[in-house]
Amino acid sequence: MSRADPFIKKRAMTSYYAAKLSGRRLMACYELAPQRVKQYLEAEILYVLKQLRSTDTVLELGCGYGRVAFRLAEVAARVVGIDTAEESLDLAREMAGTDSRCEFLNMDAVNMRFPDEEFHAVVCIQNGICAFGVDQETLMREALRVSRKGGTVLFSTYSNRFWGDRLAWFEAQSEAGLVGPIDYEASRDGVIVCTDGFRAGRLTPEDFRHLASRVGYEPDITEVDGSSVFCRITKWVPHYTQKKSLK
């Protein structure tokens, strides 16, 4: 097997969401979520909202049909959501209407067309760091590239304590025919595998720290609601800029 093969296999997850789990099928996954999962989803959003200001321009990576973006727009001045699933983006635009603070674009999170330092905050929650199936270091570097100095970059993953509830949610999705049957032999150690090609793991706090250190940062790691782990990075301001601002 060549060195490129594992990455190609990972990239298949991006096409999985575009081809098999987008638009109203993706929405249905959230509509059938058990109450504990809905609590987790709401806790994630509330944590992000606390990090935002009313003047912020926010980028959401992997926006889907706008579930999170619409909530962020309740606080932020402008929200841009990107995704590679056009069916999800079409639904998001339909739901947004003409007066929304949200804009939805088809774009790859590891190869964005935005200029440097475009956004006050970059948000990638609900385990996008794993679910996208892309190189995680490249994803984090690109998120930092488009964030402003002093801005915030937020990634989240599942807490290890949430495994039972997470598995129950995917069992419900499988029973509804939204994802394939769960491969229970392969689903362990934070990784859920379905027989139709779905595969998504999670990161530990130590994984996040190691990943952030490779891009030159020491992150703040916070567990929220006993269900998610957040990695928060504040983009550094060069020392000479800080000195200049004191004059």
Q: pLDDT tens, 15-62?
A: 788 888 999 999 999 999 999 999 999 999 999 999 999 999 999 999
What residues contact 102, with CB distance under 8 A and at least 6 apart?
A: 66, 69, 70, 73, 78, 79, 80, 81, 92, 96
Lowest mean pLDDT: which of 5-9, 111-115, 143-147?
A: 5-9
Report whether 154 contacts 51 (CB < 8 A).
yes
What ranges in 101-162 are assigned the alpha helix state H? 128-131, 136-146
State the amino acid at position 42 in one-letter form.
E
Report whether 215 contacts 144 (CB < 8 A).
yes
Average of pLDDT values for 73-79? 97
Reply yes or no on whether the pLDDT at 126 is more than 90. yes
Average of pLDDT values for 187-204? 95
Which residues does residue 192 pair with via DSSP β-bridges, in sequence order? 200
What is the spatial distance between Cα 9 and Cα 123, in angstroms, rounded to a whole number? 25
What are the DSSP calls for 32-87, one per residue? T--HHHHHHHHHHHHHHHHT--TT-EEEEES-TTSTTHHHHTTTSSEEEEEES-HH
What is the spatial distance between Cα 34 and Cα 39, in angstroms, rounded to a whole number? 9
Q: pLDDT tens, 133-171?
A: 999 999 999 999 999 999 999 999 999 999 999 999 999
What angle in degrees, to the nearest 10, is found between the helix axes of 136-146 and 205-214?
A: 60
Would you list the domain boundaries of the chain? Answer: 5-245
Which residues does residue 124 pair with via DSSP β-bridges, in sequence order? 155
Reply yes or no on whether the pLDDT at 220 is more than 70. yes
CATH number attached to the domain at 5-245 = 3.40.50.150
Q: Residue 162 is encoded by which pair of tokens? A: 């949430």
Confidence of residue 236 (pLDDT cuts 50, 70, 90): confident
Neighbours of 106 (CB within 10 A): 13
Average of pLDDT values for 64-74? 98
Phi, psi (deg, nearest 5) at residue 181? -55, 145
What is the spatial distance between Cα 26 and Cα 190, in angstroms, rounded to a whole number? 21
Average of pLDDT values for 195-204? 95
Q: What does pLDDT average to over the chain? A: 91
Average of pLDDT values for 77-85? 97
